[in-house]
């Protein structure tokens, strides 16, 4: 006998406690599927009821409109991690709902090395594959071999390999919203000695210590604006295009100096906006627009967000 589980769809669920900025309105409908089948049922439910779908991980890279999100917000809440060892590697498959933090801890317990370079980055596997998280020269896509994705219309599953994602800086095929991530498999090095694991654990602690001392780690989405593409800028330093948006933001002197209500530009990092307590999304947008205007006035270019803007009827920033 097969057991058919029904996914729970809730109405008017607050999203302000489900994202890192701690702002934004409610989801018209909300589901937190506990396994891949419930994920599929949620999609089918939305399509049958003509509701748009928005995926939500930890909300560590999004700014949600004060009016909330219409349609169904799906928060994958399944968190299995499995391990297969082959020769000197481990193939680790993690569900979309696993946090990067949990994944790294579990990998190190199993002697699987490599992902510790992403220590201290908040978010789920789903959101992290979506944006292809990066830290210095490390890209998450360097470790991915295959994945299961789900069709955003039919709810059917598809096995894909790394090439399917067309990974780039801040980019994967998931941006097209035709498929969502169900799980991803990472090929990691198998530790040969306990010393190698201890070294990786030390590196993890050091990266976190470094990040905590340098960047705000609450009430923010991390970097708000993406770096420029080389063709967008003319300024050069030592023969190389100056693509780092933080350089321009530092020059215009917004760090710790610009605010609207409780929304401020961090005093630690010019590209990080922080909700000090009671900011609204509208306050964050006001600060972000002012930053764009100032960079435009000084350099003739307009920074664009890395942070995903969700639930806005019109694009709220400068293009």
Ligand X SMILES: Cc1cc2nc3c(=O)[nH]c(=O)nc-3n(C[C@H](O)[C@H](O)[C@H](O)COP(=O)(O)OP(=O)(O)OC[C@H]3O[C@@H](n4cnc5c(N)ncnc54)[C@H](O)[C@@H]3O)c2cc1C
Binding site for ligand X (CB under 6 A): 20, 54-62, 76, 96, 121-124, 126-128, 130-131, 133-135, 174, 180-181, 217, 220-222, 308
Q: Which is nearer to ligand X, 157 or 296 (CB)?
A: 157
Q: Please answer whether residues 97 and 78 qualify as being in contact, where contact means their C-beta atoms are separated by less than 8 angstroms.
A: yes
- CB-nearer residue toward ligand X: 197 or 221: 221
Cα–Cα distance for residue pair 18/159, rounded to 1 Å: 29
- Judged by phi (left if over 0) then psi (alpha if -120 to 50, else beta), residue 81 lies in beta
Are the C-beta atoms of residues 108 and 88 closer than 8 Å to each other? no
60 or 197: CB nearest ligand X: 60
CB of 174 to ligand X, least distance (A): 4
Question: How far apart, in whole angstroms, are the C-alpha atoms of residue 180 and residue 175?
Answer: 9
Task: Round to the nearest angstrom and report the end-to-end CA distance of the chain.
Answer: 56
In the bound state with ligand X, the residue whose beta carbon lies nearer, of 70 and 196, is 70
φ, ψ of residue 228 to 5 degrees: the values are -75, 155
Our CB check for ligand X shows the closer of 13 and 56 to be 56
- Between residues 14 and 85, which has the closer beta carbon with respect to ligand X? 14
DSSP H/E element including 149: strand 144-151
Bridge partners of residue 82, in order along the sequence: 93
Which H, E and C letters describe 172-218, residue by residue?
A: CHHHHCCEEEEEEEEEEEECCCHHHHHHHHHHHHHHHHHHHHHCCCC
Q: Least separation, in Å, of the C-beta of 38 and ligand X?
A: 13
Place of tokens 């409109």: 65
Distance of closest approach, residue 132 Cβ to ligand X, in angstroms? 8
In angstroms, what is the minimal distance from the CB of 84 to ligand X? 22
Compute the least distance from the CB of residue 23 to ligand X, in Å: 13
Q: How far is CA 315 from CA 208, 287, 309, 319, in A?
A: 34, 15, 8, 8
Question: At its nearest, how many Å lie between ligand X and the CB of residue 295?
Answer: 21
CB 182 → ligand X: shortest distance, Å? Answer: 7
CB of residue 164 to ligand X, shortest distance in Å: 13
Residue with smaller CB distance to ligand X, 126 or 305: 126
CA–CA distance from 45 to each of 30, 55, 64, 149 (Å)? 11, 14, 23, 18
**Residue closer to ligand X (CB basis): 23 or 61:** 61
Pairing of strands 236-237, 240-241: antiparallel
């Amino acid at each position: 006998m097969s057991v058919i589980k029904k996914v729970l769809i809730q109405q008017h669920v607050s999203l302000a406690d489900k994202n890192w900025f701690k702002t934004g309105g409610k989801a018209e409908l909300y589901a937190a599927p506990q396994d891949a089948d419930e994920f599929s049922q949620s999609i089918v439910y939305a399509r049958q009821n003509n509701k748009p779908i928005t995926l939500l991980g930890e909300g560590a890279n999004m700014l949600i409109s004060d009016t909330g999100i219409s349609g169904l917000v799906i928060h994958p809440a399944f968190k299995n991690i499995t391990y297969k060892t082959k020769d000197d590697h481990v193939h680790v498959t993690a569900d979309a709902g696993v946090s990067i933090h949990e994944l790294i801890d579990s990998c190190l317990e199993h002697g699987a090395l490599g992902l510790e370079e992403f220590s201290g980055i908040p978010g789920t596997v789903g959101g992290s594959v979506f944006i292809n998280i990066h830290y210095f020269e490390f890209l998450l896509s360097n470790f991915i071999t295959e994945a299961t994705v789900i069709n955003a219309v039919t709810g059917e599953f598809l096995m894909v390999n790394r090439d399917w994602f067309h990974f780039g800086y801040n980019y994967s095929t998931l941006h097209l919203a035709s498929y969502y991530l169900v799980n991803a498999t990472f090929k990691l090095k198998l530790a040969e000695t306990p010393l190698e694991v201890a070294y990786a654990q030390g590196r993890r602690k050091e990266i976190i210590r470094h990040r905590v001392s340098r960047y705000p780690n609450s009430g923010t989405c991390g970097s708000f604006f993406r770096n420029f593409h080389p063709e967008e800028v003319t300024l050069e330093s030592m023969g190389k295009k100056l693509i780092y948006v933080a350089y321009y933001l530092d020059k215009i002197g917004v760090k710790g100096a610009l605010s609207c209500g409780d929304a401020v530009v961090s005093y630690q990092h010019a590209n990080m906006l922080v909700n000090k307590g009671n900011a609204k999304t509208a306050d964050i947008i006001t600060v972000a627009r002012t930053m764009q205007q100032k960079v435009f006035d000084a350099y003739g270019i307009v920074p664009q967000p890395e942070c995903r803007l969700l639930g806005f009827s019109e694009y709220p920033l400068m293009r």
